[in-house]
A and B are shown apart, each in its own frame.
Chain A
Amino acid sequence: GQQVMQIPQYQHVQEGEDFTTYCNSSTTLSNIQWYKQRPGGHPVFLIQLVKSGEVKKQKRLTFQFGEAKKNSSLHITATQTTDVGTYFCAGQAAGGTSYGKLTFGQGTILTVHP
């Protein structure tokens, strides 16, 4: 079945440093979604990427979707303590028996030291 791998599992940064998490799918995706889960909270939708090679920005966050629609990344510039949490990617299968199913990566836990 479809697998979505996310790395790294943990990332510790000093406030002001940049952060990147990567997401790779075993199959071609129709789209990819990113979610953030604050400590003790629930996942909250951040963004969705649909087009091959798409890049979207939200303030200090930059999201990319690979040309082959099998990988994605989230980059945070100049992290702040409010960025702390777990970032999940979730990919929707482009075809086959898993068409449209949303599969979550394992998440990257970001810790920001002030």
Chain B
Amino acid sequence: DGGITQSPKYLFRKEGQNVTLSCEQNLNHDAMYWYRQDPGQGLRLIYYSQIVNDFQKGDIAEGYSVSREKKESFPLTVTSAQKNPTAFYLCASSIAGWGNHYEQYFGPGTRLTVT
């Protein structure tokens, strides 16, 4: 089955620790995205990558980092510099990047709780 996988589904961390969220896709999509979802705020873009070995900051990139070394993988690291890291994190992919009118396919999400 083709799709996007995110692991783990639930993640708990202590404040001050960095944590990396996994996102893998086998759809052969060029573009991948990370969103953060908080109640009442919709989806906010953290980082995006339109092609392997390239990525750009989204609207709320502070305290986060990413890499795109392989086409199918786009891990997100939530660093200790992120002031409010507790949220639901969604990874998505599309056939190609912006300007091409392609829909985005979302993974099941990772719910991160930092205490």
Contacts and interface: CB of A to CB of B under 8 A. Distances in A.
A9 B103 CA distance: 23
A24 interface: no
Contacts of A112: none
Contacts of A72: none
Contacts, number: 53
Nearest to A99: B99
Interface string A86-114: 00101010000001111111110000000
A50 interface: yes
A90 B37 CA distance: 14
B90 A88 contact: no
Contacts of A104: 35, 42-44
Contacts of A31: 101
Contact of B103 (A41, A48, A107): A48
Interface residues of A, number: 25
A100 B99 contact: yes
A48 B41 CA distance: 22
Interface of A: 1, 6, 9, 30-31, 33, 41-45, 48, 50, 88, 90, 92, 99-107
Interface stretch (B66-74, B79-87, B105-113): B105-113
Interface in B38-70: 40-45, 59
Given A50-B101, A102-B104, A42 B42 contact: no
B76 to A, nearest CB: 15
Contact of A45 (B59, B90, B98, B103): B103
Given A33-B103, A42-B108, A88 B42 contact: yes
Nearest to B107: A42
B115 interface: no
Nearest to A6: B42
